Amino acid sequence: MIGAGQWERARDLLASLPPEQAKDGAIVALLTRLGQIEEARKLGDPRALEDELTREPDNHAVRVKLAKILNVEGDREAATDHLIHIMKKDRAWDDDGARRQLLQFLDVWGFKDPASVAARRKMSAILFA
């Protein structure tokens, strides 16, 4: 349902699960993914955000918006790279917001997902350099 853009139906189905099933990690990840999709739909046109970044490359708020949109569009590498860019430039921005956002992505992608492995490696290179 999520892949077919039937987000309301997916949310309704997940909401109807018994409480013990709703706590399952996979269900929580799906609910988080639905939240990410709903948020990204409100963030604007990605091309306009890219244009804005061309004019203001250090506009971290715009970069996070673009990362969120790219994530739900399936471009995990580009989403990661935008957040890593912020972490390299200003780790303290938004109380380490870029790192926190990347961790939210990783929770949904799953520990063994190749994009998660690559993102953790990039993040570790910054955090432990």
- Tokens standing for residue 33: 């993914």
Of all residues in the chain, what percent carry a pLDDT higher than 90? Answer: 94
How much is the average pLDDT of 78-99? 97
The amino acid present at 19, given as its one-letter code, is P
Contact (CB, 8 A) for 74 and 58? no
pLDDT at 112 > cutoff 90: yes
pLDDT at 127: 86
Alpha-carbon distance of 106 to 57, in angstroms, equals 25
Residue from 72, 64, 88 nearest 33 by CA: 72
pTM of the entire structure?
Answer: 0.91
pLDDT band at 105 (very low <50, low <70, confident <90, very high): very high
**In the predicted model, is pLDDT for residue 129 greater than 90?**
no
> Candidates 1.25.40.10, 3.90.650.10, 1.10.10.10, 1.10.3720.10; correct CATH number of 46-129?
1.25.40.10
* Structure confidence at residue 61 (pLDDT): 98
Helices 25-40 and 97-109 pack at an angle, to 10 degrees, of 130
Comparing C-alpha atoms, which of 108, 105, 109, 85 is closest to residue 31?
Answer: 108
Interior angle at CA 64, CA 87 and CA 98, nearest 5: 30
Pairwise CA distance, residues 29 & 46, whole Å: 24
pLDDT digits 0-9 by tens, 114-128: 999 999 999 999 988
pLDDT of residue 128: 87
Q: Where in the chain is the domain with CATH 1.25.40.10?
A: 46-129
Place of tokens 């997916």: 10
